[in-house]
Structure 1
Amino acid sequence: MAALFLGINANAARMDMVDVSNNNGYMSTAEYVSMRNEFGVKALTVKISEGTTFKDGYTASNIANGQAAGLYVNGYHFAHYKTKNQAIVEADFAGETAKAAGLPVGAVLVTDVESKEANNQSQATNDRNNAAFMKEIQKFGYRADIYTSGSWANNKMTIKGKTGWIAAYPYVVSGKNWYSTNHAWQWSSTAKFRISYGGFDVSQLNSNYYTADQKSTIKPTNKDAIKANNRKANKNIYKPAASAEWVNEKKTYTLKTAVKLRTGASTSSNMIAILPAGTTVKTDQAIIQGGYRWVRQPRFNGYGYLATGPASNTLEYVKSGATNTYYTVKYGDSWWTIAQRNGLSMTTLAAQNGKSIYSTIYPGQKVIIK
């Protein structure tokens, strides 16, 4: 494993695996070859399905073109199940859809657990449902795993060592191998590839699970480019100011995702509570320090503090209560097409609507475009 995964650049997070869906549009074999040769991508994980009705329209072409480029190809299903029986039904739907699209036997078929349904369940319920999904998916000849966010791992659901694909986007990427005991760490949702449009989710593989414990017979052709491109992707690094002061900032925020409320403006401060997505927070002051932008919430017995994003303020977890402009989704729209028309990235568009780019949108639905 060391030769396969650690030989390129030990000081930078690697772009070992990329995941794609209909939101990325049609992806050609040439694009996947470029990812492999110039960026060191080894594995591809393709969206298969969502819930019990949605089938990704690009699954078959992504599988075929990824295989033609010499990548290991896996799949994922965006889960909405709330019960064990629903998990089994979704697994059957995902397995049948994957088979029909050509996902090879022995590939990993992941359950992507980040939905509002899972957020409303107890850890024990999520564990039971995830176990049922993974057991059922193996009946189709696929290996199973769980994808979720770092804040949900071992909080909303149990993710044991030597399992799991964990998403966590640090503001200083280089120098630390996050989630090294799990199969994979998704460290960016905005990676750029030379001949592909838009931002991509990229992950570092910390085991051979997503490459079926094999070495690819097709090797990258430009190792110097891989080193340079991986370093470039790691460049989103915050450089702190010499000093910081609290400033008055009376605002009302609506949380896009769950955020930890702490006793002080530091990630080492004790946690008061985890505020769920949709919570309204009124603040009176803000500060830039420790790599984050913090705000202060007056409470009945003092103050609570939460990070709204990095100090550069380019990745906000929350949005202020300003007047928004909405777009009504039409038939054939996707996060990608709407984002492109409005000069946004898919990730930004989905995030400002409190969604992920894997969330399904429907004709007639209103989305915030600014």
Structure 2
Amino acid sequence: MTGAAMIVAFSFGLNAQAVRMDMVDVSNNNGYMSTAEYVSMRNEFGVKAVAVKISEGSTYKDPYAASNIANVQAAGLYINGYHFARYATKAQAIAEADFASKTAKADGLPIGAVLATDVESAEEQGNLSQAANDRNNAAFMKEIQKFGYRADIYTSGSWANNKMTIKGKTGWIAGYPYVMAGQKWYTNNNAWQWSGSAHFRISYGGFDVSQLYTDYYTAGQKSTVKPTDKNVVKANSQAANKNTSKPSTSAKWVKETKTYTLKTAVKLRTGVSTSSRAVTILPAGTTVKTDQAIIQGGYRWVRQPRFSGYGYLATGPTSNTLEYVKIGASHAYYTVKSGDSWWSIAQRNGMSMYTLASQNGMSIYSTIYPGQTLELN
């Protein structure tokens, strides 16, 4: 998601100008997330709620949804879900709502949780009128309520009340300013997602974080989740705000001539940021030829030469490091699948598992996850 959120009157004694990390959203892009990671988010950063990606379109099920839901609950946090919308008609909206709700139920999302529709696809909703999007969103939300879930809409600030209607006291809105001090955006909505690259102490990569303005995403109840050290939360919140005040200048592009075959749909963006405009969404199976790569904003990005400039794709978290991309070299890569081990990957590729782990900056005792990319030479 690339969106935003709202603020609730929770009091941790934070600097009044600091934007809070009330809610985090996670998906397959973040890989496996342990209970310990969620506990750290709660205790050290004041996170109260998590929104887990459940599904996309009418066929895609997020493979990490069930484990995320279980681990978030084990950490004592409020749990919600979201569905990435691909619908362009009312019938498609209803079908996707049925699919999302059934998937959410199977993954363990509790009845009464929010199951938001993430409406930001330039390819589908971007080509529709406001009236058409309003009709489709209403149909989706009405349908998921039949399954016992509460409804909301996630979208970007530029689309809110432009591409679709977002009424007051509803909506989860995305907007990323460079300078946070004293600013509170979308205060009339449920939530404001203010960053797509926040970092947590024991978790890899960047995360979407939101400030809540209502208790809609905390089950309509006063939160009973309390951080263990309010001073730590205050310090981390202020550091997070400071870190998003300006773009990083330390990232360096390196040459990487490579052909990717996408395993899932990926947004092709105009810049190296999850808040950059999506030119299009490349479907699974698309072949993408790239010429450079960079670590930035919590993600590993690649650049695709196009007929009129460049497009940019996030290929994974920063843990998919650029350290082993050697300028001018030709490389072979392997994408980890479920059931793989260091030994099985090495055997299939005629190499030692110790060599394989070492050249990827790890040891054979390091855990590898489905979707992770390993260099083979």
Compute the TM-score of the two structures, normalised by the length of structure 2. 0.68
* Alignment correspondent of 2:191: 184
Cα distance in 1, alignment partners of residues 187 and 70 from structure 2: 30
Match for residue 285 of structure 2?
Answer: 363
**DSSP 3-state at the match of 1:63:** helix
Distance change in 2, residues 1:328/1:237 (3 Å)? closer
Q: Which string of whole-angstrom CA distances, capped at 9 and with x for unpartnered residues, describes residues 56-104 of structure 1? A: 0000000000000011000000001011111000000000000000001
For 2:38, give the aligned amino acid.
Answer: Y
Distance 1:170 1:29 in 2: 31
**Partner Cα distance (1:220, 1:91) in 2:** 35
Residue equivalent to 1:328: 260
C-alpha deviation, 1:367, in angstroms: 6.0
What runs of 5+ residues in structure 2 fail to find an aligned partner? 1-6, 250-254, 291-301, 304-377
Match of 1:104 in 2: 110
Counterpart check, 1:230 vs 2:162: no
> How far apart, CA to CA, are the structure 2 residues paired with 1:237 and 1:27?
23
Candidates 20, 27, 30, aligned match of 1:24? 30
- In structure 1, how many angstroms separate the alpha carbons of the residues matched to 2:212 and 2:149? 19
Q: Which residue is 2:61 aligned to?
A: 55
CA shift at 1:219, angstroms?
1.4
Unaligned runs of 5+ in 1: 239-309, 315-322, 336-346
Whether the aligned pair in 1 keeps the contact of 2:9 and 2:213 (CA below 8 Å) is: no
1:83 to 65, 79, 89: 89
Residues 52 and 3 (structure 1), Cα distance of their counterparts in 2 relative to 1, 3 Å cut:
closer
- For residues 117 and 8 of structure 2, what CA distance do their matches in structure 1 show? 27
Change (3 A) 1:351 1:108: closer
Instruction: Tell me the alpha carbon deviations over residues 307-346 of structure 1, each in whole angstroms, 9 at most, x when there is no partner.
Output: xxx7x697xxxxxxxx995532265x797xxxxxxxxxxx
**1:46–1:73 CA contact under 8 A, matched in 2:** yes
The 2-side partners of 1:353 and 1:161 are apart by: 25
Residue 152 of structure 1 deviates from its aligned partner by 0.4
Structure 1 residues 225 and 171: CA distance shift in structure 2, 3 A: same
Q: What secondary structure is seen at the aligned counterpart in 2 of 1:143?
A: coil
Give me the whole-angstrom Cα distance separating, in 2, the residues matched to 1:158 and 1:91: 19
Identity of aligned residues (%): 67
Higher relative contact order (CA 8 A, sep 6+): 2
Tell me which residue corresponds to 1:299: none
Give the alignment partner of residue 147 of structure 1, picking from 142, 154, 176: 154
Q: CA deviation at 1:3?
A: 5.2
Give the CA deviation at 1:235. 0.9
- The within-5 A match list for 1:175-254 is 175-236=182-243
Q: What TM-score comes out, normalization by structure 1 length?
A: 0.69
Instruction: Map 1:1-20 onto structure 2 (within 5 A).
Output: 4=10, 7-20=13-26
Q: Which residue of 2 aligns with 1:124?
A: 131
Please say if residues 11 and 174 of structure 1, whose CA atoms lie closer than 8 Å, have aligned partners that are also in contact: yes
Letter in 1 for 2:27: S
Inter-partner Cα distance in structure 1 for 2:76 and 2:235: 22
RMSD: 2.7
Shift of residue 216 of structure 1? Answer: 3.2
- 2:119 maps to a residue whose letter is V
Report the CA distance between 1:212 and its aligned residue.
1.2
Change (3 A) 1:3 1:52: closer
Q: Deviations over 1:148-198 (max 9, x none)?
A: 000000110011110000000001112121111100000000000000000
Answer whether contact 1:172 1:236 (CA < 8 A) is retained. no
> How far did residue 365 of structure 1 move?
3.0
SS of residue in 2 equivalent to 1:235: helix
Separation (CA, whole Å) in 1 of partners of 2:176 and 2:94: 31
Question: Whole-Å Cα distance in 2 between the matches of residues 110 and 360 of structure 1?
Answer: 23
